[in-house]
Structure 1
């Protein structure tokens, strides 16, 4: 018997240890499991777990993050399910707990992400590898000399209606590490907004995320019509919202983004 507390302070008891059959319900954590060498142990992923491509093509998909196929999970007979408070549905987590132990993460900032990476390392008997990843990430972020732009910024994640991010999100923490000021920092989670509100907040920089809504260049023109003076850039949503081993590549991406902001006409 192995017992570990998750991010929700729940005791997760594992009867089969080391683990042989793992299901991941979170794309960024699936990528982490791959980078920790769990090729054989991970038996099920969601349809949004697109990294690595080899897993996306070959692993059994158990539905989406919000609509898990409970019966398919049951048929796979997992000995651990790895989930996330925000990305997965509470009622489904409770159903899944009847099948196997469920370890749930809850991520608001880089520190939470580091804790998750190291905790999962302990959970799956890959402590040394996970600590190496977390140390590499922390060292890179320590070297990130973000300019203090204080540019009033809005990060858009959805269209029709437009949605942005509040101050209690992981993405907000990433924005701050780029030296950007989220004008909706006092809001919570993912509020709906209008282009008129962006105007009222005197937004100078608008970042259009590639996910969950797939913003394209044509949407830049749509927003430019209302906010002609604003800087508008397309950004890689995975770099701002994936809190697993993807963080190894984030600092370099942020440096390039900061250069783009500086060079924006």
Structure 2
């Protein structure tokens, strides 16, 4: 089966399931894991601006997309010519089901079960009895955070933190004043590339909050990626709860 993946975390999952670069024949420019294998796969644009003609020329048996990460109009156009699986993953339970479905599709149910067991163990980490309120920033100018109907929210709360903006939906814009209600500010490394220098900028505005740079992939990449985040999450919890 020749597959094109339109989502970075799904590309990683396909290779984690044992597929080769002869089976994964197309990926976006943001698909960076695993580095040694993706470099041999044809790039078909970005997640939001696909090169439709290149995708058509590759003649895939299946295209795997995501409701949130890909453009609806482009995905629907591809559906006219190809089989397209549109994933929609907002919770860990959805992620478990996705891996099970992928395992069935690829006749690799044992691999799916193994990854699901690993991910379950990741979230059985020791947590504090009292959650700390977190503001998780994904963008700057304007400042944007995550609401309760996002995968990132699910990860924040599953680790024992409390999402300060859990009463909001999707990715609302917020102000510095609103962030003052948080105990900890998480600056994500993606999609906006927050860096160490931004911690210093925020600390001037928010002197009483703890400002931390966090791995955006660990919080937002569903699929198999979570199975690799145990040590990272354990350190994050032990240092901040």
Q: What is the TM-score of this pair, normalised by structure 1?
A: 0.87
How far is 1:139 from its partner? 3.2
Correspondence for 1:147 among 117, 120, 128 = 128
How far is 1:90 from its partner? 1.0
Query: Which residue number corresponds to residue 235 of structure 1?
Result: 214
Correspondence for 1:211 among 166, 178, 190 = 190
Q: Answer whether contact 1:47 1:56 (CA < 8 A) is retained.
A: no
* RMSD over equivalenced CA pairs, Å: 1.2
Q: Residue 159 of structure 1 aligns to a residue in which SS?
A: coil
Q: Answer whether contact 1:148 1:180 (CA < 8 A) is retained.
A: no
Q: Output one character per residue of 1:79-125: Cα deviation in whole Å (capped at 9) or x when no partner.
A: 10001100111111101112210011111111111110111111222
Q: Residue 193 of structure 2 aligns to a residue in which SS?
A: coil
Partner Cα separation in structure 2 for residue 176 and residue 148 of structure 1: 13
Partner Cα separation in structure 2 for residue 95 and residue 214 of structure 1: 31
Q: Residue 23 of structure 1 aligns to a residue in which SS?
A: strand
Partner Cα separation in structure 1 for residue 133 and residue 56 of structure 2: 48
Q: 1:204 to 1:140 in 2, by over 3 A?
A: closer
Q: Output one character per residue of 1:45-96: Cα deviation in whole Å (capped at 9) or x when no partner.
A: 0000000112332110000011111000000000100011001111111011
Structure 1: runs of 5 or more not aligned: 1-19
- Is residue 128 of structure 1 aligned with residue 110 of structure 2? yes
How far is 1:136 from its partner? 2.3
Q: Residue 114 of structure 1 aligns to a residue in which SS?
A: helix
Query: Which residue number corresponds to residue 15 of structure 1?
Result: none
How far is 1:230 from its partner? 0.2
Partner Cα separation in structure 2 for residue 73 and residue 241 of structure 1: 26
Q: 1:156 to 1:148 in 2, by over 3 A?
A: farther
Aligned residues: 240
Q: Residue 229 of structure 2 aligns to a residue in which SS?
A: helix
Query: Which residue number corresponds to residue 226 of structure 2?
Result: 247
Once structures 1 and 2 are overlaid, which stretch shifts more, 69-78 or 177-186?
177-186
Partner Cα separation in structure 1 for residue 67 and residue 237 of structure 2: 31
Runs of 4+ in 1 over 3 A off after TM superposition: none
- Is residue 161 of structure 1 aligned with residue 135 of structure 2? no
Structure 2: runs of 5 or more not aligned: none
Query: Which residue number corresponds to residue 137 of structure 1?
Result: 119
Q: Residue 211 of structure 1 aligns to a residue in which SS?
A: coil
